[in-house]
Amino acid sequence: MSVPGEREPFFIGWSRSVPPSLLRFCGAVALVLLALLAGLGLLLGRTVEDPAARLLAFAPAVEVRPEPWAADRSLKGIVTADPYPVLHLAPDAAMPFGRAVLLVGDGKRGADVAASTTPVEVSGGLLRRGDVAMLVLDGPPRPVAGEPAREAPAVQRLGRWRVAGEICDGKCYAGGMRPGSGLSHRACAELCLLGDVPAIFVAAMPVAGRQFLVLAAQDGGKPPPALLDLTALPVELEGEVERRGDMLIFKVDMRHARLL
């Protein structure tokens, strides 16, 4: 009912003007809908599992143990080059087998470092995840004066293994990118592996006490290109496993590789 003396708003369909009361109503409805959509987005975001929280549904959680040597940006040791450059720190009471640190260059590039039984010093940024330790070099190795040469770690053959897990590039998996594993990271992992970033195999169950193995070809060199087709997917690999210091090398026989 209209009040005498007041002008009742009247909507005309072909008119370009809208009554103020209708504008206020539509604005209020729009604000309420935006608030509801924002709240729904936040709620859904909190319930989605972090894709980097774990590698495989059946793999154990990964922790990084605190170690005194990891606090230094400069490390000293000898270098082996196959299948990838690795710095081997000298054994001591805390590390009876020494410590193996994979070396890598900046970006999606491996490290161009030659083998050396004479101790060298390298510096850079350290990436760590579980058993994986990798140093992103900020310059070439520097000879250490006055230190005698050391023999490379002895090779201990651990037999032939058939293991399920995932092939990853060691740099991103160790912390260079998040997530550093899984199907969403496959394209990045393939580019890293093409650039000679060390390939690692993350086993679903430990192999000789280790969950992470450095991948190699049967002759001990870099893994074959066919390995790229299996990157970031659940796979089963078979081959010989060797221990070098505190690092395991998995010499893959591609004839027995298969997707799970």
The beta-strand segments (E) located in the chain are 74-80, 86-89, 99-104, 116-129, 132-137, 142-143, 155-169, 199-207, 210-216, 234-244, 247-252, 258-259
pLDDT of residue 1: 52
Count other C-beta atoms under 10 Å from residue 229's C-beta: 13
Q: Do domains 68-143 and 155-259 have the same CATH topology?
A: yes
Instruction: Give the predicted TM-score (pTM) of the model.
Output: 0.72
pLDDT of residue 26: 84
Please tell me the distance from the alpha carbon of residue 229 to that of residue 235, in angstroms, as a whole number. Answer: 11
- 68-143 has CATH 2.40.50 classification: yes
Residue 126 near residue 133 (C-beta atoms within 8 A): yes
- Tens of pLDDT, residue by residue, the chain (260 residues): 555 656 665 555 666 666 777 778 888 888 989 989 888 888 877 776 555 444 444 444 455 556 666 666 788 999 999 999 999 988 888 788 888 999 999 888 999 999 999 999 999 888 888 888 889 998 899 988 888 888 888 899 999 999 999 999 988 888 877 777 888 888 888 999 999 999 999 999 889 888 899 999 999 999 988 888 999 999 999 999 999 988 999 999 999 999 98
Cα angle at 44 between 43 and 46, to 5 degrees?
70
Integer Cα distance of 61 and 38 in angstroms: 33
Domain ranges for the chain, please list them. 68-143, 155-259
CATH 2.40.50 is the classification of domain 155-259: yes
- Determine the Cα–Cα distance for residues 47 and 255; give it in Å rounded to an integer: 41
The one-character DSSP state at 64 is -
* Eight-class DSSP state of 61: P
The secondary structure of residue 110, as a DSSP letter, is B
| Cα gap 88→79, rounded to integer Å | 6
Find the helix or strand (DSSP H, E) in which 187 lies. Answer: helix 186-194
| Antiparallel, parallel or unpaired: β 74-80 and 86-89 | antiparallel
Q: What is the pLDDT at residue 201?
A: 94
For the chain, the helix, strand and coil percentages under 3-state DSSP, each to the nearest 5 = 25, 35, 40
Q: Pick from 113, 81, 97: which is nearest to 89 by CA?
A: 97
